Each structure stands twice: as C-alpha cells, then as structure tokens.
A and B are shown apart, each in its own frame.
Chain A
Amino acid sequence: SQKIEQNSEALNIQEGKTATLTCNYTNYSPAYLQWYRQDPGRGPVFLLLIRENEKEKRKERLKVTFDTTLKQSLFHITASQPADSATYLCALGANSGYALNFGKGTSLLVTP
C-alpha cells in the first residue's frame, strides 16, 4: 500500500538555526511533491511544489529537495523564527491521478 512517512516526533530548535524535516514515501511514482504548513485549528496552507525532474526548489527561507531514488524529500527552513512554529505536511499525488495524499505531519517548535 502507498505510504508517506514523516517524523512523528516534534522537532525543537533554537531561533536562527536551520530546521530540516523529512518526508519518505513508498509505493508511489510521484510526478511532484508538495509541502504545506498547518497552524492549530486551521486548514493547511500550501508552501512549495517540486517536480520529479527538479532536485531542489527555493522560496525565501524555504528549501525543498526531492530524491526519487531515495524516495525522500527534505524540507529546510533557514534562519528559523518562532513564527515558523507549526506542523508541516508533505503531500503526494495518488497514483490514481486526482487526489492528494498527506503525511501525518511533523510539528516544529522554534524557541527564542
């Protein structure tokens, strides 16, 4: 069965450091992968999309890598701030086509 795995343990880091979150998947042949941010009690908000032929994508302090050989994506937040504290979800298009399947998310806490 298709699986998307994100580290279930919360990641605690100090302000100013780089946060790195991991997304591993099995039984997918994804054409793309997406990352979302979710704050408590709210719906997820899209951050970045990376295609299978792209190794790396950047947006301001965010960087995503996508290794289809390792079946893994890494999500980096550089110069992290307390406002970056949230749950981060990765998502893959289901092999059937239309739907997005989500990992369970990793909680990030950035302390001053």
Chain B
Amino acid sequence: DVKVTQSSRYLVKRTGEKVFLECVQDMDHENMFWYRQDPGLGLRLIYFSYDVKMKEKGDIPEGYSVSREKKERFSLILESASTNQTSMYLCASSLFGAGNMNTEAFFGQGTRLTVV
C-alpha cells in the first residue's frame, strides 16, 4: 500500500521558533509538494520539488523553506514561526508521467500546526 507519512499529526509551537515538518514517501516518486489548507482559502502550494536537491517556490513561499536531501524525504521549515502560519499542512508526492503530465498525487494525513 502506497504511503506518504508526515511526522506529526498535531503540533503546537511558540512564536519565533524554528519548526520542521517532515514528510516521507515510499513510492520512489520524483515530485513532492507542500501545501497549506485554510478555511475559505483551499489548498495553497508552498513549495515543490521535482528531484533531489531541487526546489521551486509555489504560490506562498514567504516565511518557509524546504529541504530535499534524499528522494523519499521532503522537509518544510518555518524559519521563525508566526501565528499566521497556524494551519493544516499537507505533503504530497506524485510520479512524473509521460507527456509532461503528473499522475495522481498521494497525500499524507496532514499536520495541524498551531503557533501560539
């Protein structure tokens, strides 16, 4: 059974802390993504990676960075957590198919982060 696993289901951090959200996939997928999901705003792409050590900014990268040192692991880093980063964070992976077409994305269970 294919899996995307996020390190924490719930997390509470203090303002100003450096926060690491970890994501691991076991499907040998090239692409990995970090989204955040907020009520009324839907899923918004923060960063994605199409290969090891490669990363691209999504729509809302400010205040975040990422790391992909190994193909199966994609980490999201909140450099200095702020209350407006309280959200549900979702990691996903996909296989890059032929014809420049992504196949289906597999999502992790999500990390609900609260910054106090």
Interface of A toward B, CB cutoff 8 Å: 31-32, 34, 36, 41-46, 49, 51, 89, 91, 93, 96-105
Contact = CB atoms under 8 A, between A and B. Distances in A.
Interface residues of B, number: 30
A98 B40 CA distance: 25
Given A98-B48, A101-B45, A104-B42, A34 B110 contact: no
B109 interface: yes
A91 B110 CA distance: 18
A43 B50 contact: no
B56 interface: yes
Contacts of A102: 35, 42-43
Given A43-B92, A98-B56, A99-B48, A105 B42 contact: yes
Interface of B: 4, 31, 33, 35, 40-43, 45, 48, 50, 56, 58, 90, 92, 94, 96, 99-110, 112
A43 B103 CA distance: 17
B102 A93 contact: yes
What are the 5 tightest A-B residue pairs by CB atom distance, in nearest-first order? A43-B107, A104-B42, A46-B104, A102-B43, A98-B50
Nearest to A4: B42
Contacts of B58: 99
